[in-house]
Every structure is written in structure tokens, then in C-alpha cells.
């Protein structure tokens, strides 16, 4: 068993100090999104019970929902056998995890020839984030 004070030792951070994080709906078990966490984001997630991530493009820490209001309450946190991936069972506020206004970021399905969009937009991005 890993003690609370050395939880970082169980995580296999990549060369950039990040670990892959999967957010999965606690009820449906649908994968909603995949993002990255650094040690600070994981610590904030543990401390607050809300999902925090690290943006590689913006090079900064962020809490899911800080702009949209669509926070993720963490019900369970797991790491895989190698320690190089985190799965969080979450409750998604507002029903939208994707910045496109869909329930899941995984809204395209391959049919053998092309990608098909399967999920509707629940709320327009401009309405969520207040920009055009």
C-alpha cells in the first residue's frame, strides 16, 4: 500500500513531469476526456476533490471548469499497473466535458471508411466561454 505522504513515488512521470489522466463518468463509465497532470495538478485534485490538469499548450495549471463552470467532482482515483496513467471516475457538472460543448471529447466514430460525429453539441462554445 502506498502511503499518502509518498503517493508521487507510485506515479511514473514522463520526461516532462506529466502523467496521462483519463476522466471517466462515474455512472455510465463513458470516457469523457484525456488530459495531462503534473504533480501539482494531481495534488490539487487530491486536496480539493475536483479535477485539475496541466495544459501543455498554455504551459499552466488549470482546474476543469474554471472557464466554463463544468467542473469534475472526483469520486475515485486509480493508477495503472505501471503507474504511468491515471483514471478518475468523475461526476461532470453541466453534462459537458468537451470544450466543443459535447458530453465527451470522444464524439467521432470510425466506420471503416470515415469518421462520423455521433454526439450532439449541447451548448455552443461561444456561449460557454463568452467569445466569438
Confidence category of residue 129, pLDDT binned at 50, 70, 90 = confident
Q: What pLDDT score was predicted for residue 53? A: 98
pLDDT one-digit tens code per residue, 76-108: 999 999 999 999 999 999 999 999 999 999 999
C-alpha span between 119 and 87 (Å, rounded): 23
Q: What pLDDT score was predicted for residue 102? A: 96
Q: Which whole number is the average pLDDT over 114-120?
A: 97
pLDDT one-digit tens code per residue, 41-85: 999 999 999 999 999 999 999 999 998 999 999 999 999 999 999
Q: What pLDDT score was predicted for residue 43? A: 95
Give CATH for domain 4-95.
3.10.20.810
All structural domains of the chain with their residue ranges: 4-95
User: What are phi and psi for residue 35, nearest 5 degrees?
Assistant: -145, -170
91-96 long-range Cβ contacts below 8 angstroms, 24+ apart: 91/25, 91/26, 91/27, 92/23, 92/25, 92/32, 93/65, 93/69, 94/65, 94/68, 94/69, 94/70, 94/123, 95/70, 95/122, 96/68, 96/70, 96/122, 96/123, 96/128
Provide the whole-model pTM: 0.89
Q: Which whole number is the average pLDDT over 19-31?
A: 98
Amino acid at each position: 500500500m502506498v502511503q499518502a505522504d509518498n503517493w508521487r513515488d507510485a506515479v511514473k512521470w514522463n520526461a516532462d513531469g506529466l502523467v496521462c489522466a483519463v476522466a471517466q463518468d462515474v455512472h455510465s463509465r463513458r470516457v469523457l476526456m484525456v488530459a495531462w497532470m503534473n504533480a501539482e495538478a494531481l495534488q490539487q485534485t487530491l486536496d480539493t476533490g475536483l479535477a485539475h490538469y496541466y495544459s501543455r499548450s498554455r504551459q499552466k495549471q488549470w482546474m476543469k471548469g474554471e472557464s466554463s463552470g463544468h467542473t469534475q467532482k472526483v469520486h475515485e482515483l486509480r493508477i495503472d499497473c505501471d503507474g504511468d496513467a491515471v483514471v478518475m471516475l468523475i461526476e461532470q457538472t453541466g453534462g459537458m466535458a468537451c470544450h466543443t460543448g459535447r458530453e465527451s471529447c470522444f464524439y467521432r466514430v470510425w466506420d471503416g471508411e470515415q469518421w462520423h460525429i455521433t454526439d450532439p453539441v449541447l451548448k455552443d462554445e461561444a456561449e460557454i466561454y463568452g467569445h466569438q
